[in-house]
Amino acid sequence: MRFVNIKPRRFESFSLWSDKESVEPYVVTNRLDHIEMIRINALSILAFIAASLTLCGSSLAIDTNEIRRSRNEAETSYGDTTREQILETRNRRKRQLKVMVMDARKKLADHSSGENILTGEQKEQFENKVDLFQRKIESMEIELEEWEIERLIVRGTENANRRRERSHHSRNIKSEL
């Protein structure tokens, strides 16, 4: 490691305690020495960043390994394949539709109050959405029969198998490249 070459420089300045006082500030004598200091500071910052990435990078590697391991397991879910999953998805979809109806009604109310003016086409689209979403919610309020649930399970399993095959196929293509 090379140290910066600094030399004392004398000059006179005014002081409250005495008429003249000698002050010896240190001045960098060479522009290359100044550049050397900047380089040393930059290297120390890079070392700090490298150490931080090393410490954080190991935890990221663990997470990605767990993700890869879960993708390779045969039980990985690629869709709703159980009765509980299907019913939960159905309930979640009902909640989503109710929120969408409320949002569309709010936009129509804002239009009626003059807060947010919609075009005729936009107003008609929101009115249609409210009608369609409301009818869908009403149709979903009826409980599913067993044969319908079984049909959804079979369809979900078939779709999951297709997605799984496509996923494995795409991984094989990537590994061949």
11-29 pLDDT, tens per residue? 444 444 444 444 444 454 5
Calculate helix-pair angle for 120-141, 83-113, nearest 10 degrees: 150
Co-location of 119 and 42 in the same domain: no
Give the C-alpha separation, 177 to 166, whole Å: 17
Q: Are the beta carbons of 81 and 157 closer than 8 angstroms?
A: yes
What is the residue range of 96's domain?
83-176
Co-location of 167 and 92 in the same domain: yes
pLDDT, tens digit (0-9, with 9 covering 90-100), for 32-72:
576 777 778 777 887 777 777 666 655 544 455 555 555 55
1 in any annotated domain? no
- Regarding pTM above 0.75, the answer is no
Q: Are the beta carbons of 126 and 104 closer than 8 angstroms?
A: yes
Co-location of 92 and 54 in the same domain: no
Co-location of 158 and 90 in the same domain: yes
Q: Are the beta carbons of 165 and 74 closer than 8 angstroms?
A: no
Give the C-alpha separation, 12 to 121, whole Å: 83
Domains: count for the chain: 2
